[in-house]
Structure 1
Amino acid sequence: MRMTVLNNIYLRFSSFIDVMETLDPQILTKQLDVSKSKSVGEHMWCLVGARESYARAIIVGHWDGFSCSLENSKDLNQIIEKLKTSGQVFKDAVDSVSDWTEERDNLLVHLLEHESMHEGQLIRHIFALEKDVPKSVKWA
């Protein structure tokens, strides 16, 4: 089951790269006229931070707090770079673990849920702005 969860996480990682590489940079800061709306850039900040934070949690074996290295959620090139590097940081963390515990497995599921939730929100956001997402995006 762990490999199924990891494969789905890595598919989400790839999906976000596909979306960002085809996105008009002007969309990064556009808000929807609904309560608690996050911009695309704000979603990306949350994703990058979660990947980095869950990577650290996987290594130490429990949740260890949230931090994010993405400094500018309005810079598409920085977002793409950080999506790629945070994905690799997470993969490296997973590859470094030899003692898989129930807590570590739960952390994997939590990250998958987080990625999936943001992917759905992002798709809805982009469609609400009357833009398209790449055909490679599973849920669109």
Structure 2
Amino acid sequence: MDILKQRVLQALSLTDDFYNHINEGCLTLKISDVPSNTIGEQAYCMIGARESYLKSLKIGKWAGFDCSLIDRNNKL
């Protein structure tokens, strides 16, 4: 369980570092030649998934998808 906790915390730290070092204008951009969502929409999905899975782990069952980000194009 300690290795899982360590990996989750490392992933959260790396994600936090990445989004703290890009400006908000980058959130509306897409990766070229790749059929994907904007960087902001990807962040919303990734952060929401991590928050949702951690919440579910704490309570022992799926509690639905939820994301603390209010706007997919805003880092707040």
Q: Which interval holds the TM-score relative to the shorter structure? A: 0.7 to 0.9
Give the Å deviation of 1:62: 2.2
SS in 1 for 2:71: coil
The count of corresponding residues between Structure 1 and Structure 2 is 75
What percent identity do the matched residue pairs reach?
A: 31
Change (3 A) 1:6 1:21: same
The structure, 1 or 2, with the larger RCO (C-alpha pairs under 8 Å, 6+ apart) is 1
Give the greater-gyration-radius structure (CA): 1
| 1:84-136 C-alpha deviation (Å, 9 max, x unpaired) | xxxxxxxxxxxxxxxxxxxxxxxxxxxxxxxxxxxxxxxxxxxxxxxxxxxxx
List structure 1 runs of 4+ shifted beyond 6 angstroms. Answer: none
| Structure 2: gaps spanning 5 or more residues | none
Give the Å deviation of 1:20: 1.3
CA RMSD of aligned residues (A): 1.6
Residue 70 of structure 1 is matched in structure 2 by 69
Cα distance in structure 1, aligned partners of 2:17 and 2:59: 31
TM-score by length of 1: 0.48
Cα distance in structure 2, aligned partners of 1:59 and 1:10: 15
Give the Å deviation of 1:12: 0.8
SS in 2 for 1:68: coil
Q: Which has the higher helix share?
A: 1
Cα distance in structure 1, aligned partners of 2:70 and 2:20: 19
Residue 38 of structure 1 is matched in structure 2 by 37
